[in-house]
Structure 1
Amino acid sequence: MTLFHLFLVAVIQGITEFLPISSSGHLILLPNLTGMADQGLLIDVAVHVGTLFAVVIYFWADVRSALFGLGRLARGKVDTEGARLAWLLIVSTVPVVIIGLILKVTGLSDAMRSTAVIGWTMLVFGLVLYWADQKGAETKTDADWTLRDAVIMGLWQAVALIPGTSRSGITITAARQLGYQRTGGAKLSMLMSIPTIAMAGGLLLIDVIAEGHADQLPDAAIAAALAFVSALAALSLMFRLMKSVSFTPYVIYRVILGVILLAVAYS
């Protein structure tokens, strides 16, 4: 792969993974609309690792608390904030793991990788995000996360397996609909991404090991580094903007892109 191609893939993944505009949709569109070759499994794993490290570092205090909490959780105790957070993250990850495996085994995940599907999901779930953001109450913070809310957000997260939906977008939508403040809902969405990205990267890594791509390791290292930097920048930008603006700018982008993609798909 050329350095320019690596740069495009890594930056697209890094920026769109956490903004509510769909990383998978943009990565599928890159070869679909430009004619570029697919980046391959190893590069997919690399950019996932880059974005994973970015969100872990950005929310390190919460991640460290959850990691320490895993020890107490393993002993059947949910008596600390860390254990409670670890438990709720596990619960919220179960739906996407189960449904993701079903889609992978049945091959349905590949059947949904079309421009038309991405156009519709960009448009529809963009409008759903707008509705939830405008109508949702702002009575809860991330500290108010409950088991019920973790289950609901986990089920919504599974919907993001449809390309173009946006994992962060759909979980933020769920959080706003449940009454979480913008920053609190977005924080929970980002924390939920950690086990989800780790699981997705692990599945891809199994395929990489089976196929063997040792010659692409230098490209993978570059892609991971670029994805890390761009993801960290995207996280910082999004949380800074949330102090003064709503999610409407992302909705406008989704609607415009969705309309353009549908016009291309059905022309």
Structure 2
Amino acid sequence: MDIFQAVILAFIQGLTEFLPVSSSAHLVIFPQFFDWPDQGLAFDVVLHFASLCAVIIYYKDSIVLLSQDFFSSVSTRKMQGDSFLAWGVLLGTIPVGLAGLFFNDFVEINLRSFHVVAYATILFGILLGLSDIVHRARDINRELIRGSDILIIGCFQALALIPGTSRAGITITAALLIGLSRKLSIKFAFLLSIPVITLATIMKLFELTNEPQQVNWLFLLLGFAIAFLTSYFTIVFFIKLVERIGFLPFVVYRIFLGALLFLI
């Protein structure tokens, strides 16, 4: 991997991790299409850690309040403030954690292909568009999350193991379908990304200890900086854009991308 490839891959990770367009799809497509060498586990870990830092910093105020209410609910054994949302982030991570534990090897061996990515990109893109249409037609904008919401969104998130699905996209889709407001749907989806990305990073770190390799610290630092800045500003851009015009641009992009993959 040269410095140009490092910059491009870091930019792609930062741009697509929190957009409903699937970061895994883009990170599968670019290296294969241009016949780039594998970027290595160390670089992969750094990019994921950069995205994790970006979402934590963006939601730092909410995370502090959620943490305070969470520990208060544990000590008093009563839900208070945003403690239920905090519990929701933890409990909503269980389905994808179990799915990753049992099906990760199957996904890696059988589903990381252009055809799977293409089908998933189009299918789940259309589903995102339909969820937005249904959401607007019903005019339901709940600002409170319930136990059943956590279960449904958590199960939908497990589908993100399929390359091309988009973890952000599928969780937002589920949230819109069950009637949560756009604002809460996006916030809960991004908060859910924190434990998921943390678990993925830890897993890759364990793999890295078993597969020692040479580390180019310049590439790692550059990749972190680009992925972090791109991730942070993508979150800001995405939230403002969706508030103004909805999810249609991302639906159109996903259909176009999936069609392009079939042509390739």
Do both proteins adopt the same fold according to a TM-score greater than 0.5, normalized to the shorter chain? yes
Per-residue deviation, 1:78: 4.2
The percent of aligned pairs where both chains have the same amino acid is 33
Query: Aligned partners of 2:63 and 2:243: how far apart in 1?
Result: 23
Query: Aligned partners of 1:248 and 1:5: how far apart in 2?
Result: 30
TM-score normalised over the length of structure 2: 0.94
Query: Aligned partners of 2:167 and 2:3: how far apart in 1?
Result: 28
Q: What residue number does 2:261 align with? A: 261
Taking the TM superposition and a 5 Å limit, the aligned residue runs for 1:1-267 are 1-75=1-75, 77-104=77-104, 106-136=105-135, 137-141=138-142, 143-213=143-213, 215-264=215-264
Query: Aligned partners of 1:76 and 1:115: how far apart in 2?
Result: 51
* Structure 2: runs of 5 or more not aligned: none
Please list the CA deviations of residues 32-86 of structure 1 after superposition, one character each: whole Å capped at 9, or x if unmatched: 1110111111111101111111111111111112223443355472422343222
Moved more, 106-115 or 185-194: 106-115
Query: Aligned partners of 1:138 and 1:109: how far apart in 2?
Result: 40
Query: Aligned partners of 2:82 and 2:108: how far apart in 1?
Result: 34
Residues 138 and 176 in structure 1, CA contact (< 8 A), matched pair in contact too: no
Amino acid at match of 1:230: T
Residues 77 and 83 in structure 1, CA contact (< 8 A), matched pair in contact too: no
SS in 2 for 1:179: coil
Amino acid at match of 1:24: S
Amino acid at match of 1:150: I
Moved more, 26-35 or 179-188: 179-188
Please list the CA deviations of residues 162-206 of structure 1 after superposition, one character each: whole Å capped at 9, or x if unmatched: 000000010111011011222221111111111111111111111
Per-residue deviation, 1:95: 0.4
Question: Number of residue pairs matched?
Answer: 262
C-alpha distance 36-78 of structure 1, shift in aligned 2 (>3 A):
farther
Amino acid at match of 1:231: S
SS in 2 for 1:243: helix
Per-residue deviation, 1:234: 0.6
* Structure 1: runs of 5 or more not aligned: none
Query: Aligned partners of 1:125 and 1:72: how far apart in 2?
Result: 38
Residues 73 and 87 in structure 1, CA contact (< 8 A), matched pair in contact too: no
Residues 172 and 186 in structure 1, CA contact (< 8 A), matched pair in contact too: yes
Per-residue deviation, 1:233: 1.1
TM-score normalised over the length of structure 1: 0.93
SS in 2 for 1:242: helix
C-alpha distance 78-118 of structure 1, shift in aligned 2 (>3 A):
farther
Residues 140 and 180 in structure 2, CA contact (< 8 A), matched pair in contact too: yes
Query: Aligned partners of 2:185 and 2:84: how far apart in 1?
Result: 17
Name the Cα RMSD after superposition: 1.6
